[in-house]
Every structure is written in structure tokens, then in C-alpha cells.
């Protein structure tokens, strides 16, 4: 395992000297979790949010965004469509909403997915911080995995990009991640790369932090500006550098945690059209094609230049599959793609119990 200063050195290697890092990470992945790229059909449930994160386009304070939540009918159609398209894994992402109505709606959706698919689909939720009771309720209704990014492992930087109130507490976010783990969710976290004011040491510490947290999955990508947020025009690292750091962070995390699932984020694709494929070649093994009804995608806009806003799923899957084949991997729709790290841990726990 690299030390923080070794990671910092690797992050700063010029791109033309970084091939070895990407190659080793990709080989480590292939030897550990294989060359299959797992897909998760992504549904953006709602852009209503009670938070006011300074970087995010759907923050509560952004009065220019029209808010939506998918209706029961739209959800039912989307689930149907997901099953017919052959996906075995769904991610439902949303702005944060702690109302009872929302919590019950998510519970209903989970039950509906279980029923419509005969329990053949794995569901990941990504909807922010909630009480243990809510996480438990959703787990009982069929959620298997949860993604909650820490955004940065540096508490000081965290406080610079969030309002200072108890709705945006670094400690609380970590506690939620711990709760999810304790409940037995496959738990994911991750960070943004190139946040204004973020140093190389911060990024190196992020890798060590994620390793220490013992996550099962990771989603991370470049910080991208959104014109209707306070951090617009505050980037301190050029965009292509943020992209380069993102690929290196994927590679370094793969080397630190060979058996976890790592997503090649959509944010990578918004910087460079083949950004996700580059992410795969740097050690990622998951891609999340967007299946949100087309007219809502423009509204779930966390950052500018969000890709895939007008692309229907058939076209995007065909093209993606060809691109993934071209880089020596194969795209899988019909597998759960559980985290090997999580499966090993479960096995270990059941052995210890016996
Ligand atoms: N409400 C959920 C989901 C939030 S959106 C939650 O709190 O987890 C998912 C992720 O998008 C965030 O965790 C953040 O890492 C990322 N994101 C938001 N704004 C971004 C931006 N401007 N650039 C890059 N990533 C961003």
C-alpha cells in the first residue's frame, strides 16, 4: 500500500509517464474482478433537495431550476422498461428529501421493483443522509446497496464547500456511511476531484480514507462547475488536470482496494467523450447508463455539460457496448455485479459464526 507522499508523487507524474500506473491498475482489476464492465440503470428520481451544497446545481438555493419528482406512472413505466431491457441492477438517485411522503414513496418503489422483477434485480440507492430507521425501512423493502459520497476527506475543505449548519455536517455524513455498513448494505462512497482549494495531499488522503473506511464500491469524478452555484468560476485546478487526476485516483484506488467496484462516472464523459472508457482502462469496472425519462434529464443537472441528455437508452447501450469491446472488456447487463469485496466479507462473517 502506498503512503500519502507516494500517492502525491504518482498524482503528479506527467501523463506521458503514467501509462505504467494505468496499465498496472487495469491488470490488477482484470486479475481480481475480471474484464466485465457491470452496468447499473440510473434513474434520477427527483431534483428537489433540502441541501445547499455550494457546488451542486440542484441545491435548494438555486431558484432557477424547475423541480420535479417522477410520478407513480412514470416510475412504473421506467421499471417495466428496465426489466424488458434486461438490466439486473438499478441505481435510484435523488436530491435529499426527508419528508415522510418521500420516504414512503421510495419504499413503495423498492417493493414495486421487487414485485415486478420477481426479486431478480439489485437496487442501489443514492439519496443522501437519512436516519437509521429510514435506511432500515428501505433495506427491508429491497434496497441492497447505498452510495453516499464523502465528497472530500478533509473536514476543513468540506466546511468550505458546504453551509455551516447541522444539515451539512461532515461528522454526520461519516456516521451515515458507518450506519449503512452496520446495517449490511453494500456501501459505496467517493469524492470529487479538483474541488476549489483541494491539494494533492487532500487527494492522497482521500485514497487512504476510503481504504480505511473499507468501502465496497466507489463513485468519484472531477468537480465540474455549474453556473448557478456559488463555486462557479472558483476552480483552482484546470479542467483537463481534474480529468487527469480523476483517472489517476481511479488507478490508485484500484491498487489500494483491488476487489471493490469502481464506477467510471458520467462526469468523466462530460469532460472527454470517451472519458468513461478511459476510466475503465484506468481500473474502473462499472458504468451507469441513464434511463431517466428524457425530458427530466435536463433538470437533474448537478453540473454543466451533463452528457446523454438527449440520447435514448438503446442507442447509448449499443454504442457503449461497442466501445467497451474495443478496449478489451465486455459490457454486462444481465448480472447483479455485486462487489467482490462485500461478498468476501459476508463469507468471512458466516465462517466466523459457524
Ligand atoms: N443527494 C444525494 C445524491 C447527490 S448527487 C447525496 O447527497 O448523496 C451525487 C453526487 O454528485 C454528489 O455526491 C457529488 O459528489 C456529485 N456532484 C454534485 N455536484 C457536482 C459538481 N458540480 N461536479 C461534480 N460532481 C458533482
- Amino acid 354: pLDDT: 63
Ligand 1 center to 33 CA (angstroms): 26
pLDDT beyond 70 at 349:
yes
- The torsion angles phi and psi of 332, rounded to 5 degrees, stand at -115, 130
Atom of ligand 1 lying closest to residue 93 CA = 3
Quickly state the pLDDT bin for 316 (edges 50, 70, 90): confident
Q: What are the tens digits of pLDDT across the range 30-39? A: 999 999 999 9
- The torsion angles phi and psi of 146, rounded to 5 degrees, stand at -145, 135
Task: Give the burial string for 33-49 (b: 16+ CB within 10 Å, else e).
Answer: beebbbbbbbbbbbbbb
Q: What are the tens digits of pLDDT across the range 122-138? A: 999 999 999 999 999 99
223 lines ligand 1 (CB under 6 A): yes
Task: Give the burial string for 92-116 (b: 16+ CB within 10 Å, else e).
Answer: bbbbbbeeeebbebbbebbebbbee
- Amino acid 351: pLDDT: 76
Q: What are the tens digits of pLDDT across the range 156-180? A: 999 999 999 999 999 999 999 999 9
- Amino acid 46: pLDDT: 98
Atom of ligand 1 lying closest to residue 224 CA = 23
Ligand 1 center to 47 CA (angstroms): 11
pLDDT beyond 80 at 77:
yes
Atom of ligand 1 lying closest to residue 147 CA = 8
pLDDT beyond 70 at 206:
yes
* Dihedral angle over CA of 224, 225, 226, 228, nearest 10: 150
Q: How many C-beta atoms surround the C-beta of residue 155 within 10 A?
A: 12
Ligand 1 center to 312 CA (angstroms): 23
CB neighbours of 351 closer than 8 A, spacing ≥ 6? none
pLDDT beyond 80 at 56:
yes
Q: Measure CA 162 to chain center.
A: 19
Tell me which residue has its CA closest to atom 7 in ligand 1. Answer: 128
Average pLDDT over residues 90-95: 98
* Cell (9 digits) for 136: 432500515
192 lines ligand 1 (CB under 6 A): yes
- Amino acid 310: pLDDT: 83
pLDDT beyond 90 at 350:
no
**Cα–Cα distance for residue pair 79/343, rounded to 1 Å:** 26
Ligand 1 center to 302 CA (angstroms): 6
Average pLDDT over residues 129-153: 98
Tell me which residue has its CA closest to atom 11 in ligand 1. Answer: 302
**Cα–Cα distance for residue pair 236/258, rounded to 1 Å:** 31
Ligand 1 center to 255 CA (angstroms): 25
- Amino acid 225: pLDDT: 96
The mean pLDDT value of the chain amounts to: 96
Average pLDDT over residues 144-154: 98
* Cell (9 digits) for 29: 482489476
Catalogue the E-assigned strands of the chain: 36-39, 41-46, 89-94, 122-126, 143-147, 186-189, 192-193, 217-222, 261-264, 286-287, 330-332
Portion of the chain with pLDDT greater than 70, in percent: 99
pLDDT beyond 70 at 239:
yes
Q: What are the tens digits of pLDDT across the range 243-256? A: 999 999 999 999 99
Average pLDDT over residues 2-16: 96
- Amino acid 346: pLDDT: 84
286 lines ligand 1 (CB under 6 A): no
- Amino acid 304: pLDDT: 85
Which of 71, 17, 136 has its CA nearest to residue 295?
Answer: 71
Tell me which residue has its CA closest to atom 4 in ligand 1. Answer: 95
Which of 350, 339, 348, 347 has its CA nearest to residue 32?
Answer: 339
**Cα–Cα distance for residue pair 342/21, rounded to 1 Å:** 25
- Amino acid 230: pLDDT: 98
For a substitution probing ligand 1, which of 126, 134, 300 has the most ligand atoms within 8 Å of its CB?
126
Amino acid at each position: 500500500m502506498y503512503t500519502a507522499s507516494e500517492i502525491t508523487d504518482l498524482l503528479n507524474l506527467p501523463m506521458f509517464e503514467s501509462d505504467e500506473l494505468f496499465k498496472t491498475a487495469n491488470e490488477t482489476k482484470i486479475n481480481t474482478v475480471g474484464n466485465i464492465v457491470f452496468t447499473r440503470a440510473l434513474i434520477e428520481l427527483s431534483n428537489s433537495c433540502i441541501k445547499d451544497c455550494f457546488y451542486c446545481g440542484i441545491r435548494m438555493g438555486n431558484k432557477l431550476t424547475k423541480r420535479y419528482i417522477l410520478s407513480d406512472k412514470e416510475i412504473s413505466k421506467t421499471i417495466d422498461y428496465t426489466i424488458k431491457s434486461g438490466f439486473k441492477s438499478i441505481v435510484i438517485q435523488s436530491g435529499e428529501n426527508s419528508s415522510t411522503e418521500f420516504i414512503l414513496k421510495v419504499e413503495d418503489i423498492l417493493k414495486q421493483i421487487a414485485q415486478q422483477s420477481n426479486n431478480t434485480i439489485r437496487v442501489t440507492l443514492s439519496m443522501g443522509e437519512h436516519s437509521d430507521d429510514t435506511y432500515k425501512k428501505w433495506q427491508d423493502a429491497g434496497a441492497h446497496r447505498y452510495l453516499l459520497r464523502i465528497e472530500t476527506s478533509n473536514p476543513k475543505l468540506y466546511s468550505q464547500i458546504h453551509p455551516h449548519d447541522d444539515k451539512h455536517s461532515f461528522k454526520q455524513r461519516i456516521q451515515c456511511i458507518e450506519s449503512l455498513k452496520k446495517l449490511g448494505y453494500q456501501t459505496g462512497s467517493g469524492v470529487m476531484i479538483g474541488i476549489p482549494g483541494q491539494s494533492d495531499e487532500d487527494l492522497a488522503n482521500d485514497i487512504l480514507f476510503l481504504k480505511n473506511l473499507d468501502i465496497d464500491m466507489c463513485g468519484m469524478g472531477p468537480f465540474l462547475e455549474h453556473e448557478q452555484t456559488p463555486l462557479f468560476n472558483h476552480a483552482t485546478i484546470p479542467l483537463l488536470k481534474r480529468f487527469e487526476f480523476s483517472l489517476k485516483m481511479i488507478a490508485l484506488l484500484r491498487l489500494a482496494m483491488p476487489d471493490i467496484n469502481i464506477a467510471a462516472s458520467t462526469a468523466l464523459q462530460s469532460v472527454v467523450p470517451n472519458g468513461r472508457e478511459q476510466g475503465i482502462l484506468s481500473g474502473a469496472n462499472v458504468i451507469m447508463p441513464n434511463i431517466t425519462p428524457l425530458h427530466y434529464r435536463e433538470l437533474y443537472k448537478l453540473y454543466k455539460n451533463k452528457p446523454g441528455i438527449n440520447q435514448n437508452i438503446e442507442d447509448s447501450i449499443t454504442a457503449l457496448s461497442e466501445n467497451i469491446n474495443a478496449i478489451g472488456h465486455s459490457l454486462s447487463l444481465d448480472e447483479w455485479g455485486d462487489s467482490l469485496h462485500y461478498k468476501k466479507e459476508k463469507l468471512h462473517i458466516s465462517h466466523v459464526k459457524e
